[in-house]
Amino acid sequence: MEALNLTPQNWPRYHGFVSADWIEGTSYRRFRRYDMTLPLPTQAIIGQVCIFIVLTPSDNQIFFKCDNCFRQHQPTNLNCSMTVHRAHSFLDKTTRLFDFKTQQRIPGRWKQVGIETYGQSRLTVETWKCVHIN
């Protein structure tokens, strides 16, 4: 796979993170496709590679279980566990990846195989690969 050649000038911006495709259990990290022209995988194919912009949520979002707001907590979002004061979230018990909109598990087991960071940004660019079908 070719390098993305990211620089400070073309690094993804926090305010540009306006949607999420996947969310990771226990860490509550949000994933958005790096290249929005490519479709999300709908089935697991071993060796399939996807590149994501990944947002690490704030400590408060993790502690209070903000599981349905894509960038920062939205107090009016009634689907968010933090808004309705739910003690538990569907993300609490597993590190698996879930579809952000449907809350269904993503098919297959995915492993992070690459990461690019920039300073103290909460955004990273990560490469994930399907390593097992289940």
Q: Is residue 7 part of a domain?
A: no
Is 4 among the domain residues? no
Q: Poorest-confidence range of 8-12, 43-47, 106-110? A: 8-12
Q: CA-CA distance, 85 to 13, in Å (whole number)?
A: 30
Residue 25 lies inside a defined structural domain of this protein: yes
- The separation between CA 3 and the C-alpha centre of its own chain, rounded to angstroms, equals 21
Look at residue 3 in the predicted model and tell me its pLDDT. 61
Q: How many domains does the chain have?
A: 1
Contacts 24+ apart (CB under 8 A), 81-85: none
Give me 117's structure tokens.
Answer: 């960071």
pLDDT tens-digit readout, 122-131: 899 999 999 9
User: How many Å separate Cα 58 from the centre of its chain?
Assistant: 14
- The domain in which residue 96 lies consists of 14-132
Q: What angle do CA 50, 23, 11 make, to 5 degrees?
A: 55
Whether the per-residue pLDDT at 74 is higher than 80: the answer is yes
- pLDDT at 117 > cutoff 70: yes
Amino acid at 45: I
User: Does residue 9 belong to any structural domain of this protein?
Assistant: no
Residue 128 in any domain: the answer is yes
Is 83 part of any domain? yes
